[in-house]
Amino acid sequence: MSLNGPWTLSRIEKTSADLVEPVRHHLTALCGRPEEHARFLNTLSLLEHIGSRKILTSQSRGPLDCETLKHLAEEARHAFFFKRTAERVAGRPLDYSDGDAVMPAAARMYFGRLDAGINRMLADEIPVEVPYLYVSMVVELRAIWAYRLYNDVLVDSGLNISLKGLLAEEELHLPQMAERLVALGEDLDATVPAFARLEDALFRGLWRSLAVLPTVH
């Protein structure tokens, strides 16, 4: 299944075109400010951690197959990657508090509202894994879009941080989830665009929170 269908990366690239330059500009500024960059990396760790926890809790009522367990393990590993990188940049241990992450409450709200919104739009009688798959799909779409931009900035900035391996795993998850949803009888062209619009609105709110840099004195 292509990553560039009307509801996948081609769509998010089109709807997020106005965000590319401001996001790139902000990421470039962060790369020159190690302490703030560390907090941002740690926030990405938090987001990946929230994602892994949501997979675990949402699937606790049903059977955990190998693909779901693999996805859970990879999301947890991504959280570890960003945490370890953040602490290397900061030169100290970090937690997920306000002092060590950028607007962690906003990060949690993004996931919580997306999860709740997609669940409200779905029918009541559906397989237990369908909401998890849809939430994961739209989050993966955003992650691929954002991590591609971020990796380009990291390369341009000359920092010894690469997202290539992480991106490869995220890009593999997307068709796997799409194929599973189709196998469960879901019509992606009818459902994903509405979920993607919800995610777009929530991401813009999250980004406004994350893009606030303190003034340098």
Q: Domain with 177 in it: what CATH number? A: 1.20.1260
Q: Are 206 and 110 a contacting pair, CB within 8 Å?
A: yes
pLDDT of 216 above 50? no
Tell me the per-residue pLDDT of 121-168, one tens digit each, with 9 for 90 and over.
998 888 888 998 999 999 999 999 999 999 999 999 999 999 999 999
Mean pLDDT across the stretch 19-30?
Answer: 95
Give the model's confidence band at 62: pLDDT under 50 very low, under 70 low, under 90 confident, else very high: low
Does a structural domain hold residue 67?
yes
Does a structural domain hold residue 3?
no
Q: Are 47 and 103 a contacting pair, CB within 8 Å?
A: no
Average pLDDT score, the chain:
88
Write phi, then psi, for 158 (nearest 5 degrees).
Answer: 75, 20
Q: Within a 10 A sphere around the Cβ of 190, how many other Cβ atoms? A: 9
Tell me the per-residue pLDDT of 169-206, one tens digit each, with 9 for 90 and over.
888 888 888 888 999 999 998 899 999 999 999 999 99
Does a structural domain hold residue 69?
yes
Does a structural domain hold residue 215?
no
Q: Does 154 or 1 have the greater pLDDT score?
A: 154
Q: In terms of residue numbers, what domain contains 139?
A: 9-210
Does a structural domain hold residue 186?
yes
- What is the rounded distance in angstroms from the CA atom of residue 197 to the CA atom of residue 12? 9
**Rama region for 42: left / alpha / beta (φ>0; ψ in -120 to 50; rest):** alpha
Give the model's confidence band at 212: pLDDT under 50 very low, under 70 low, under 90 confident, else very high: low
Does a structural domain hold residue 41?
yes
pLDDT of 114 above 60? yes
Q: Does 66 or 83 have the greater pLDDT score?
A: 83
- What is the rounded distance in angstroms from the CA atom of residue 6 to the CA atom of residue 24? 24
| Spatial CA neighbour of 52 closest among 125, 119, 124, 139 | 139
| pLDDT reported for residue 5 | 52
- What is the rounded distance in angstroms from the CA atom of residue 189 to the CA atom of residue 8? 10
Give the percent of the chain with pLDDT over 70. Answer: 91
Domain count, the chain: 1
| pLDDT reported for residue 132 | 86
Rounded (10°) angle between helices 34-58 and 66-90: 160
Does a structural domain hold residue 181?
yes
pLDDT of 31 above 60? yes
Does a structural domain hold residue 4?
no
Q: Which two tokens stand for residue 38?
A: 């560390």
